[in-house]
Homo-oligomer: A and B are copies of this chain.
Amino acid sequence: MVDDRKLAVLRAIVEDYVSTNEPVGSKALADRHNLGVSPATIRNDMAALEEQGYIHQPHTSAGRVPTDKGYRLFVDRLSQVKPLTGAERRAIETFLAGVVDLDEIVTRTVRLLAQLTRQVAVVQYPSLTRSSVRHVEIVPLGERRVMLVLITNTGRVEQRVVDLPDAIGDDRVAHLRAVLNASLDGCGLSSVPDRVADLPERLAAEDRPVAVTLLSVILETLVERHEEKIVFAGAANLAAADFSVGLRDVLEALEEQVVLMRLLGETGDLSELTVRIGSENPYTGLRGTSFVAAGYGAGDKELARLGVLGPTRMDYPVTMGAVRAVARYVGQILAGS
């Protein structure tokens, strides 16, 4: 019983603090939430909560502020994801309607998410490794030079210019194109190395050097470029959120692909929400911020992740709702295209 009330107090503290951004005191709590007990009782509970590290007092005579641990408990046990309003759903639909190009999907998504949450949105491009080959194209650029274009089923296009060891004619290009496509079409990218291992041996001797070069470039593209591209939007919202302290650090983190990678982090289950709160984040500049992430993908495969970065004192239920909803919509669109 007593514990239930303490949790209710914690929830109230989080909610009030999020909406007012000021330390919340016992009296204010008793007034604004009908907890059915007096301020004095609440004070006792608050003392206990502080003892356990869920809240914290900036100075002796101020109200309480949730700690990271407090937010964690709130997110895990005291709140539930808040679904979007109808207007918001419609906004998403119109924003993402009728887009086919992958670049455009990603660009619009990241802006949409930033606008919806009024925070910084981060979106990762659909992973190469988890998608499959739709087409390989070889475009002659010169005697000994071709452009290799790799198209995946997620609409992603990778291009590389390749210098060849031999000159090569149009007919041989066509032949190689046909062979490559025959071997690779529909093949999951992770299994490409296996599929092509013995390919050169099955070709005429004269084609081998060129084929080997091309294959090594393809594998390189798959492996070395495995680092995925990540974009963000909504940095202006950072300036609005008053926490100007550390703003510089946050902006720096956002421009470091490596940090973003770690932030998006390991993949959980598809459409499972991940929340990183304050000091749980993998980068010191991001103390003071929380990150809400979700995976998205076409069908049941998770292809990449997206999320929202904001001050620790964000409205978690709403933010989580928005992230989840956007992830689902994007998944639908990718599946549909």
Footprint of B on A, CB under 8 Å? 100-101, 111, 134-135, 137, 139-141, 147, 149, 151, 155, 157, 159-161, 233-236, 238-240, 244, 247-249, 251-252, 254-255, 337
Contact = CB atoms under 8 A, between A and B. Distances in A.
A137 B137 CA distance: 8
A228 to B, nearest CB: 14
B247 A239 contact: yes
A128 to B, nearest CB: 15
Contacts of A141: 134-135, 151
Contacts of A236: 248-249, 251-252, 255
**Identical copies in the complex:** 2
B135 A147 contact: yes
B147 A139 contact: no
7 tightest Cβ-Cβ pairs between the two chains A and B: A239-B248, A236-B251, A236-B252, A239-B247, A235-B251, A100-B161, A135-B139
Contact of A157 (B159, B233, B234, B240): B159
A326 to B, nearest CB: 18
State the majority secondary structure of interface residues on A.
mixed
A139 B236 CA distance: 40
A100 B160 CA distance: 8
B139 A151 contact: yes
Contact of A248 (B101, B140, B240): B240
Contacts of A147: 135, 151, 157
A233 B248 contact: no
Q: Which of A111, A155, A239 has the most CB of B within 10 A?
A: A239
A215 B238 CA distance: 44
Nearest to A248: B239
Contacts of A233: 255
A137 B139 contact: yes
A157 B139 CA distance: 12
A155 B134 CA distance: 22
23 contacts: A100-B160, A101-B160, A101-B161, A111-B255, A134-B141, A135-B139, A135-B140, A137-B139, A139-B151, A147-B151, A147-B157, A149-B157, A155-B161, A157-B157, A233-B255, A235-B235, A235-B251, A236-B248, A236-B249, A238-B251, A239-B247, A239-B251, A240-B248
Contacts of A249: 236
A84 B155 CA distance: 43
Contacts of A137: 137, 139, 149
Nearest to A142: B134
Given A137-B149, A157-B159, A240-B248, 20 more contacts: A101-B159, A101-B160, A101-B161, A134-B141, A135-B147, A139-B149, A141-B151, A155-B161, A157-B157, A234-B255, A235-B235, A235-B251, A235-B255, A236-B249, A236-B251, A238-B251, A239-B247, A239-B248, A239-B251, A244-B244
Contacts of A101: 159-161
Nearest to A229: B103
A132 to B, nearest CB: 13
